[in-house]
Amino acid sequence: MNLLRFRSLLMLLVLLWQPAALAHSFGAGTDAFVSFLNAVSIFVSDPILLLPSISLGILAAAYKTRGLVDIWPWLFGSHLVGFLTASLVGDWVNSILLVVGLAVATIAALVSKPAKILVISSGVITGVLTMLVSLQGHAWHELSMSVYVGLFAGASMGVVISSGIAEVALEKLPEKVSKIALRVAASWLAAIQLLAVMLLIA
What pLDDT, in 10s, does the model give residues 54-109?
999 999 999 988 888 889 999 999 999 999 998 888 888 999 999 999 999 999 99
**Structure confidence at residue 143 (pLDDT):** 81
Distances (CA, A) of 36 to 22, 39, 49: 20, 5, 17
**Hey, what amino acid is at 83?**
F
**Hey, what amino acid is at 108?**
A
Question: How far is it, in rounded angstroms, from Cα 159 to Cα 202?
Answer: 28
Question: How far is it, in rounded angstroms, from Cα 155 to Cα 44?
Answer: 10
Question: How far is it, in rounded angstroms, from Cα 50 to Cα 131?
Answer: 12
pTM: 0.85
**Structure confidence at residue 175 (pLDDT):** 86
Q: Report yes or no: 47 and 156 within 8 Å, Cβ to Cβ.
A: no
Q: Report yes or no: 157 and 44 within 8 Å, Cβ to Cβ.
A: yes
* HEC letters along the chain: CHHHHHHHHHHHHHHHCCCCCCCCCCCCCCCHHHHHHHHHHHHHHCHHHHHHHHHHHHHHHHHCCCHHHHHHHHHHHHHHHHHHHHHHCCCCHHHHHHHHHHHHHHHHHHCCCCCHHHHHHHHHHHHHHHHHHHCCCCCCCCCCHHHHHHHHHHCCHHHHHHHHHHHHHHHHCCHHHHHHHHHHHHHHHHHHHHHHHHHHHC
**Structure confidence at residue 15 (pLDDT):** 47
**Structure confidence at residue 28 (pLDDT):** 55
∠ CA 154-179-188 to the nearest 5 degrees? Answer: 60
Q: Using only the alpha carbons of the chain, give its radius of gyration.
A: 17
**Structure confidence at residue 53 (pLDDT):** 95
**Structure confidence at residue 8 (pLDDT):** 52
**Structure confidence at residue 30 (pLDDT):** 64
Intervals of the chain under pLDDT 50: 1, 3, 6-7, 9-15, 19-22
**Structure confidence at residue 86 (pLDDT):** 87
